[in-house]
């Protein structure tokens, strides 16, 4: 007979005292507890197995468990949002702000060490690239949504009145001077004027297309134009390939800027001229036809929406070639004529009344190509050409922007404006024959 330890101890300790020695040792499994008790690892609703007397306790326990699971899930979601969204955003914005501050300080030092109109004051390529990182297009769409929000009647007079006083809007010229009748800020931007407050000069062949400030004007030289004094941009980059006469064709390889300029002329004895007009936020925001002409081509560049403020125009070379713009090309009595409304920050919306197909300030995914052409010339069945008369309304901006005129004229064409001069729509832009005779007689 095999004697075990339990048998030996039973005589002295008794049978009941040694029962634990006869049990086989079975290790208890560890209960796995998840680190995060979310709704996927912990059931919210449990099946009740208690009697009817304990149903209320089970309901309370189930509700408490559901609340705990919901709280844990929200906490985890908030933690992930902070980790993957908020912290990187704050990190990027911090260094982005430091970069902009460094650019501003560098530009301030340049102004103190270099004379005005020095090439050293123009932004470098890396500075322009850094500046373009700012999401101006998204900001402009958000601003457009905000300005189109309906204003309650009680808020219209204080808000619109504050805007009018800030930007010196002349309400006496508005067709509707009652601020309570404008349902939103965008409607006030696009306000129409009374008849007769902008008379069209009949003696001048070219009149101002809008209210604004003259940034620059003059003759196109070797395919280059001045956006402000001392800062130039390319005619070819601004207009794009010149194939609007005979349909799409490949631009000649190695074509110089001067050859591009000459290719636009209908009469080789003429020259190309340009004029840049800046519309401030308080100006009349509609633009009109400056001459009698016919539009037969439109090219839409869905570019950036950088600010076109004169201070930025002095800093960024080729600013108008970077921004979104709609180039309208046609003919007038002297040959080639082009009128281009240029978009800007918070002014992505460019509307042309006779071109309903134009869509501006869209996402890059909606308009991925560098530019989009529309031919309006006569066809066998129909013609989309747009005949425009001098002073006829053409389109409108939201807030303020820039109009660029490029046209062909005789070599003796002379402007009657000065850089920085405030002009009004309809006033003459060039010296007429009678004006030349009067000036000659005065001398």
Catalytic center residues: 211, 288, 401
DSSP string, 64-125: HHHHHHHHHHHHHHHHHHIIIIIHHHHHHHHHHHHHHHHHHHHHHHHHHHS-TT-GGGSPPH
Give the span between the Cα atoms of 347 and 283, in whole angstroms. Answer: 13
State whether residue 375 is helix, strand or coil: strand
Name the E strands within 173-223. 212-219
Structural tokens at position 57: 């306790």
Give the span between the Cα atoms of 38 and 33, in whole angstroms. Answer: 12
Give the span between the Cα atoms of 187 and 149, in whole angstroms. Answer: 10
Block residue for tokens 């009067």 = 438
Q: Which residues contact 304 (CB under 8 A, 6 or more apart)?
A: 132, 136, 137, 322, 323, 324
Greatest distance between any 2 Cα atoms in the chain = 149
Structural tokens at position 399: 């807030």
Burial label, 389 (beta-carbon count in 10 A; 0-12, 13-18, 19+): exposed
| Alpha helices for 271-424 (secondary structure H) | 310-313, 319-322
On whether the CB atoms of residues 136 and 305 are closer than 8 A, the answer is yes
Give the span between the Cα atoms of 246 and 218, in whole angstroms. Answer: 29
Q: Output 362-369 pairs: Cβ under 8 A, ≥24 positions apart.
A: 362/302, 363/137, 364/137, 364/302, 367/300, 367/302, 369/302
């Amino acid at each position: 007979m095999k004697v075990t330890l339990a048998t030996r101890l039973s005589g002295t300790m008794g049978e009941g005292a040694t029962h634990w020695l006869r049990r086989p040792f079975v290790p208890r499994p560890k209960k796995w507890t998840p680190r995060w008790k979310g709704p996927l690892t912990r059931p919210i609703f449990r099946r009740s197995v208690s009697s009817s007397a304990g149903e209320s306790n089970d309901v309370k326990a189930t509700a408490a468990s559901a609340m705990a699971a919901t709280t844990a899930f929200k906490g985890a979601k908030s933690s992930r949002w902070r980790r993957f969204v908020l912290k990187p955003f704050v990190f990027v914005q911090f260094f982005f702000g430091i970069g902009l501050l460094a650019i501003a300080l560098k530009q301030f030092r340049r102004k103190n060490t270099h004379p005005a109109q020095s090439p050293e004051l123009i932004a470098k390529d890396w500075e322009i690239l850094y500046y373009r990182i700012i999401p101006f297009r998204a900001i402009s769409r958000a601003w457009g949504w905000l300005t189109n929000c309906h204003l309650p009647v009680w808020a219209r007079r204080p808000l619109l009145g504050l805007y009018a006083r800030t930007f010196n809007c002349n309400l006496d010229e508005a067709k509707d001077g009652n601020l309570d009748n404008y349902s939103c800020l965008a409607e006030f931007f696009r306000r129409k004027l009374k008849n007769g407050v902008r008379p069209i000069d009949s003696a001048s062949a070219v009149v101002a297309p809008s209210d604004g400030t003259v940034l620059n004007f003059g003759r196109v030289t070797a395919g280059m134009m001045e956006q402000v004094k001392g800062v130039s941009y390319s005619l070819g980059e601004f207009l794009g390939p010149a194939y609007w006469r005979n349909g799409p064709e490949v631009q000649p390889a190695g074509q110089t800027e001067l050859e591009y300029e000459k290719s636009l002329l209908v009469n080789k004895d003429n020259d190309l001229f340009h004029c840049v007009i800046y519309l401030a936020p308080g100006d009349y925001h509609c633009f009109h036809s400056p001459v009698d002409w016919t539009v037969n081509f439109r090219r839409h560049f869905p570019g950036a929406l950088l600010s076109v403020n004169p201070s930025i125009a002095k800093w960024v070379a080729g600013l108008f070639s970077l921004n979104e713009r709609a180039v309208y090309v046609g003919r007038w009595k002297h040959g080639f004529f082009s009128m281009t409304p240029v978009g800007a920050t918070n002014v992505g919306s460019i509307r042309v009344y006779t071109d309903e197909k134009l869509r501006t300030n869209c996402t890059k995914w909606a308009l991925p190509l560098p530019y989009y052409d529309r031919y309006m010339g006569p066809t066998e069945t129909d013609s989309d050409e747009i005949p425009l008369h001098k002073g006829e309304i053409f389109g409108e901006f939201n807030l303020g922007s820039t109009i660029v005129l490029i046209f062909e004229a005789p070599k003796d064409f002379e402007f009657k404006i000065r850089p920085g001069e405030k002009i009004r729509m309809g006033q003459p832009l060039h010296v007429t024959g009678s004006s030349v005779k009067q000036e000659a007689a005065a001398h």
